[in-house]
A and B are shown apart, each in its own frame.
Chain A
Amino acid sequence: MNTSKYSVQIRDLDLHFGEIKVLQGLNLDVGEGEFLVLLGSSGCGKSTLLNCIAGLLEITDGQIFIEGENVTWKEPSERGIGMVFQSYALYPQMTVEGNLSFGLKNARVAKDEIKRRVARAADVLQIEPLLKRKPGALSGGQRQRVAIGRALVRDVDVFLFDEPLSNLDAKLRADLRVELKRLHQQLKNTMIYVTHDQVEAMTLADRIAIMKDGKIMQLGTPDEIYNRPQNRYVADFIGSPSMNFLEGTLENAEFSVGSLKLPMTGYNFLNGSASNGDTTIGIRPEHVITGELVGRASVQTSVRINLVEPMGSDTLIYADLAGNQIRIRMDGHAKVRTGDDLAIGIDAVRASLFDKKTEIRL
């Protein structure tokens, strides 16, 4: 097997806890230097998968390769990985320096080398002034930096992050997110990052794997995931507020629900041409056209506003379209009131069509 251009490869991975099948026949290739985000709601198996890669969980079946080497039976410390945990998991009785050098001492790295690597990690993460402190005397952000440093000193090719920012407050989370991205650009390591926060996923990832019930629902770039979701689950999961779904029928490349008719001209069908049958259309709230641009949209109609939610930067509008409640995102300056009629336009190119039964993209 040619494994040279992949950093981490997972083959037919199964993990069962008794009767419960947490991961089933999972395959995943992570490229050299790639930032891969495992995204999903809690219980989807994303953290479990990360723990399997780290070797912290015994797998039921399958193989794991890291840097071309089969590490399926190897100890976590022998796999060439560094890991950062949600709760930081710093050793409370050791100083920051002790925390950073613990793994190196276990690996019997020479003293000078330990010193050099700790100094370098401290420099990269700007934690030199903290080296003599204990974790108890650090703030949340500083603790997470030290935790990242602990992975950094190991000089490994693959970093595993298990929801590293979830315990931080919103402001700090945004700061550290940027810092992580910068760190990745600087170090060019392979990073596998577990999160349930789609903003983190969209901003950090080269590719995102969206997981559900132990399976990968879609693996693609943030742009693919957002604009061309492969199934209804992914379409619904990504985006906030989430996508509007209307159930209708597709006939001769025209989608119809009630009195509304949407000719799908310009829509990029997966297998090249439109089939007929029961279909669900998905339209993102931000892709519903309002204001002056309505005139240029392929389909134009008017809706009655049920509810207005001003959110500062945006205004969210709830309205009825062909018997379904839809959400429309307008900008914050929009002067609209409940009860008004609003002219909207829909662009077929930016919509997504799903087979109603299989929920797979057409």
Chain B
Amino acid sequence: MADTTPMSFDAAVLTEPRGPKPRRRLSRRNIFLYGTLLLVSVYYLLPLYVMVVTSLKGMPEIRMGNIFSPPVEITFEPWVRAWSEACTGINCDGLSRGFGNSVRILIPSVALSITIASINGYALANWRFKGSEVFFTILIFGAFIPYQTMLYPIVILLRELGLMGSIGGLVLVHTIFGMPILTLLFRNYFTSIPEELFKAARVDGAGFWGIYFRIMLPMSLPIFVVAMILQVTGIWNDFLFGVIYTKPATYPMTVQLNNIVNSTQGVKEYNVNMAATLLTGLVPLVIYFISGKLFVRGIAAGAVKG
């Protein structure tokens, strides 16, 4: 057949469907898909846009009322004022002091809570002891008790410890409140690591700490990143504990931001307020950008293996 009609065979090769099926760019499915994505992005990004734009405007321009228009004359003065000059009560050194406080609260809280919770989780996953399940249940139950019910007892506790109003006191509170959820997170991750690996390490003569540091830790970077992101955002954004357990000199950034934005004296400096809010939100944002990829991988790893 092919010998007698070579021409028509060649024609068929050129015109008949072959290879990957061509896709139309503007199919109904694509329009719907990208339209939705676009709409949702705008919905989320518009407030941020307004904040950024407003923070770069001078007060006269803001008073004209076009909140969506880009700044005619870009000024960084509101940012400088928010950082170092904005007043809360009698202090007029801006957010910088709050930032310092927040950093001094954040670093020990995150380090301490993750260290303790990872060891907790490791012990509960691999070194089951009599009553370890009961212990775990009680710990997890702690995650479901509303914080508000514990506020006053903790005031008394901190007073008795002599930590009320100090940064150390707030670090202790953050560490304790992070414990249930972080322990759960670590326990589940360590449980997903094959038990035979743990057994092999025991035959190889590694003990409790040897296995933790040399076998488990190197395998758990993703879950540490997840825990770190949870704690950094949670503790940085905390307002309730900060306002209750510290005093003006040790207020974290969020409390100070609130005091700047809500101060009722004089004119409302919208540009300064916006700049202050953006500055406060910067730390969690940076953490997300740096570790976003690891964060997703960590969650996925837990999902697949768990």
Please report A residues at the B interface, Cβ cutoff 8 Å: 51, 54-56, 75-78, 81-83, 85-87, 89-93, 102-103, 106-107, 150, 154, 162
Contacts and interface: CB of A to CB of B under 8 A. Distances in A.
A106 B206 contact: yes
B200 interface: yes
Given A86-B196, A89-B194, A106-B210, A150 B218 contact: no
A105 B132 CA distance: 31
Contact of A82 (B196, B203, B215): B203
B219 A85 contact: no
15 contacts: A75-B202, A77-B203, A77-B204, A77-B205, A89-B194, A89-B196, A89-B199, A89-B200, A93-B219, A102-B201, A103-B203, A103-B204, A106-B206, A150-B204, A154-B204
B200 A150 contact: yes
Contacts of A154: 204
Given A91-B215, A93-B219, A106 B205 contact: yes
Given A77-B204, A90-B200, A102-B206, 20 more contacts: A51-B199, A54-B199, A54-B203, A56-B203, A77-B206, A83-B199, A85-B196, A89-B197, A89-B199, A91-B200, A91-B214, A102-B201, A102-B214, A103-B203, A103-B204, A106-B204, A106-B205, A150-B200, A154-B204, A162-B196
B97 to A, nearest CB: 43
B205 A85 contact: no
Contacts of B202: 55-56, 75-77
B66 to A, nearest CB: 57
Nearest to A87: B196
A89 B210 CA distance: 16
A324 B242 CA distance: 83
Contacts of B196: 85-87, 89, 162
A93 to B, nearest CB: 4
Interface string B187-224: 00000001011011111111000100011001100000
Across the A-B interface, give the 4 residue pairs with the lowest CB-CB distance, nearest first.
A77-B205, A103-B204, A106-B205, A89-B196
A86 B197 CA distance: 11
Contacts of B214: 91, 102
Nearest to A78: B205
Contact of B219 (A83, A92, A103): A92
A150 B204 CA distance: 9
Contacts of A78: 205
Interface string B243-279: 0000000000000000000000000000000000000
A354 B36 CA distance: 75
A122 B203 CA distance: 20
B134 to A, nearest CB: 15
Contacts of B201: 91, 102
Given A85-B199, A89-B197, A103 B205 contact: yes
Contacts of A83: 199-200, 203
Contacts of A89: 194, 196-197, 199-200
Contact of B204 (A92, A102, A162): A102
Q: Name which of B196, B203, B210, B214 has the most chain A CB atoms within 10 A of its CB.
A: B203
A154 B205 CA distance: 11
Contacts of A93: 218-219
B305 to A, nearest CB: 13
